[in-house]
Amino acid sequence: MSDKCPYRKTVLITGASSGIGKETADLFAMHGFKVYAASRHPAKTTNPSIIPVEMDVTDPESVKKAASKIDELGIIIHCAGFGISGSAEMTPLDRAKAQMETNYFGVLNVNSVFLPLLRKNSRSLVMITSSIAGFISIPYQSHYSSSKYALEAYCQALRIEAGRFGVRATLVEPGDTKTGFTKARSSDEPKDSPYYEECIAAVEHMAKDEQNGKSADSVAKVFLKNAYRKNPPVRCAVGLSYKVLSLLAKILPSRLVNWIVKLIYIG
């Protein structure tokens, strides 16, 4: 990692009250960044480098209010998000909309307000928490996967469009990670669904993998590494095994990838 950060060392982190967001806020503060730690319920801190900011990414007025307290910014890191579980067919539409509202439109709400601040710099950076589910759709998490697939498309377009203003954009793709995300995931499959038993079993399998997965700190370290790169990659999977998985997903036939994913989660 380079010793010199090419961006202004002022960072806004959404979802900073827990999990990957909190670890990222702590790590960046430790490395001399001024951190605006945004969340719906910001926690008090004794760290002078971390400034708690109340923000609901689904509420444009809340985002604008938070922005009124920030007058310079070099980096945005999007960590706010949650997961729902349920079948592609039976998940209630309002739950699927809520998933997109936070995971996808939340990123748009924040960027629409804060990108003008980034464009004031000669060079700046947007990092978005995607997922392995952003390029391999996971059974019984199709709507979560859809929200991450959407972010993958959005970030690539943003990288092209805003590049002439010095704005870099990159996706960080964690796999199974041990955080409170697992416990917070909602179960939205109706009990009378023909998919119910298989859905519950598949999600329990996911939960077990997540709780035995990498630490949130491993993802925070990838964000920090990218913050010292002049030209970060379009996307980066977290950990060697997921880098290999990402490569295989690109070169193997889609039918074979689907079969492997089905074998893992359903059998």
Which CATH number belongs to the domain containing residue 22 in this structure?
Answer: 3.40.50.720
pTM: predicted TM-score of the whole model, two decimal places:
0.94
Phi, psi of 115 (to 5 degrees): -60, -35
Among 5-9, 110-114, 236-240, the range scoring the smallest mean pLDDT is 236-240
Between 141 and 241, whose confidence is greater?
Answer: 141
In this prediction, residue 2 carries a pLDDT of 58
The total number of structural domains that make up the chain: 1
Is residue 249 scored above 90 in pLDDT?
Answer: no
Say what the pLDDT of residue 1 is. 59
What is the pLDDT of the chain when averaged over all its residues? 93
Q: Are 152 and 136 in contact (CB under 8 A)?
A: no
* Dist. CA 58–CA 46, nearest whole Å: 28
Strands 235-237 and 186-187: unpaired
pLDDT of residue 240 exceeding 80? no
Does residue 99 belong to any structural domain of this protein?
Answer: yes
Cα separations in angstroms, 186 against 83, 86, 92, 216, 255: 7, 9, 12, 20, 29
pLDDT (0 to 100) of residue 34: 97
Contacts of 247 (CB under 8 A, 6+ apart): none
Any domain includes 3: no
Point out the residues that are catalytic: 17, 130, 144, 148
pLDDT in tens, 150-199: 999 999 999 999 999 999 999 999 988 888 888 889 999 999 999 999 99
Comparing 165 with 243, which gets the higher pLDDT? Answer: 165
Would you say residue 173 lies in a domain? Answer: yes
CA distances from 267 to 91, 137, 202, 241 (A): 22, 16, 9, 21
Chain-centroid distance of CA 115 in Å reads 18
Kindly state whether residue 5 falls inside one of the protein's structural domains.
no
Structural domain includes residue 106: yes
Domain carrying residue 107: 10-265
Residue 243 has pLDDT above 80, yes or no: no
